[in-house]
Amino acid sequence: MTLALSLLDAGIDDVDIYESASAVKELGVGINVLPHAVRELTELGLLEALYRIGIPTAEVVFYSKHGQRIWGEPRGLAAGYRWPQISIHCGELLGVLYRAVVARLGSTRVHTGHHLVGFGQQGSGPVWGEFVDRATGMSFGRVEADLLVACEGIHSLVRHTLYPDEGPPSGTASRCGVRSRLVSRSSPAARPAHERHDTVPAGPLRGRKGSDA
Ligand SMILES: Cc1cc2nc3c(=O)[nH]c(=O)nc-3n(C[C@H](O)[C@H](O)[C@H](O)COP(=O)(O)OP(=O)(O)OC[C@H]3O[C@@H](n4cnc5c(N)ncnc54)[C@H](O)[C@@H]3O)c2cc1C
């Protein structure tokens, strides 16, 4: 979604997004959007929308398993950056991006239920991507374009095809909790070996209860 918005911002408006999931749903946990990323989203005119659903993080704090504060340091504006660090619910961030894409590009350019199963290029001609609907098994055939940009996450088919020897992800476990902005503007974390536990203040609750994921 962010790439599509950036391309539009650069004057490239013939853009289509193909997403494996059958719908864009606001799912996920609390995350921290760091200042360099907030800078990009600010350039795309989204800072106000982020402030409406997230909070500017003031500090990161580490605790022992007994709850003793070990260490903390300022983050974002409090650390002197020109852009804030924003703690936000990941699904709500996606919602902001999706609504901006729909408003600027149009909903018909977002093709949900399209799972990439192959890609290639014939000579110096256009690239192609082949898509199926994973829910029904229906094939959409090939789509041609001047450029294919793979943004399909950690299990990327394109990356694995182009870089088959990279090996699996690290295997480090990550546990996250979400809590209300009413608690504080700090972002506590505990980190035993090979495991990480972050608790991120993710904005107003709006009926959502704090949860682990
Ligand atoms: C628990 C947790 C906490 C995190 N906290 C933070 C944080 O605080 N701050 C931070 O900056 N980062 C955080 N991250 C990392 C961050 O979520 C990832 O770096 C980021 O989501 C990667 O974005 P992406 O667009 O590359 O991939 P993804 O977000 O994984 O998006 C990939 C998309 O591609 C789709 N897709 C997958 N395969 C296909 C296919 N074959 N065809 C079509 N579509 C496909 C998927 O459905 C998905 O929508 C966290 C991650 C986790 C798991």
pLDDT in tens, 63-109: 998 999 999 999 999 999 999 999 999 999 999 999 999 999 999 99
Q: Whose CA is nearest to atom 39 of ligand 1?
A: 152
What is the reported pLDDT for 172?
Answer: 72
pTM check: above 0.95: no
Q: Give yes or no for residue 53 having a pLDDT over 90.
A: yes
pLDDT digits 0-9 by tens, 129-174 = 999 999 999 999 999 999 999 999 999 999 999 999 998 777 776 6
Q: Whose CA is nearest to atom 9 of ligand 1?
A: 32
**Structure token pair of residue 6:** 């950036």
Q: Find out whether the beta carbon of 152 lies less than 6 Å from any atom of ligand 1.
A: yes
Domain range enclosing 71? 2-212
The count of domains in the chain is 1
Q: Average of pLDDT values for 10-29? A: 95
* Shortest-distance atom of ligand 1 to CA 2: 25
What is the reported pLDDT for 170?
Answer: 75
Q: What is the CATH number of the domain that holds 117?
A: 3.50.50.60
| Closest to 202 measured CA to CA, from 100, 76, 34, 57 | 57
Of 3, 16, 19, 57, the one to substitute when testing ligand 1's pocket (max ligand atoms within 8 A of C-beta) is: 19
Please list, residue by residue across 63-91, b when 16 or more beta carbons sit within 10 angstroms of its beta carbon and e when fewer do: beeeeeeeebeebbbeeebebbbbbbbbb
Band the pLDDT of 121: cuts 50, 70, 90: very high
When the pLDDT of each residue in the chain is averaged and rounded to a whole number, the result is 88
Q: Give yes or no for residue 37 having a pLDDT over 90.
A: yes
Q: Whose CA is nearest to atom 21 of ligand 1?
A: 153
Q: Find out whether the beta carbon of 92 lies less than 6 Å from any atom of ligand 1.
A: no
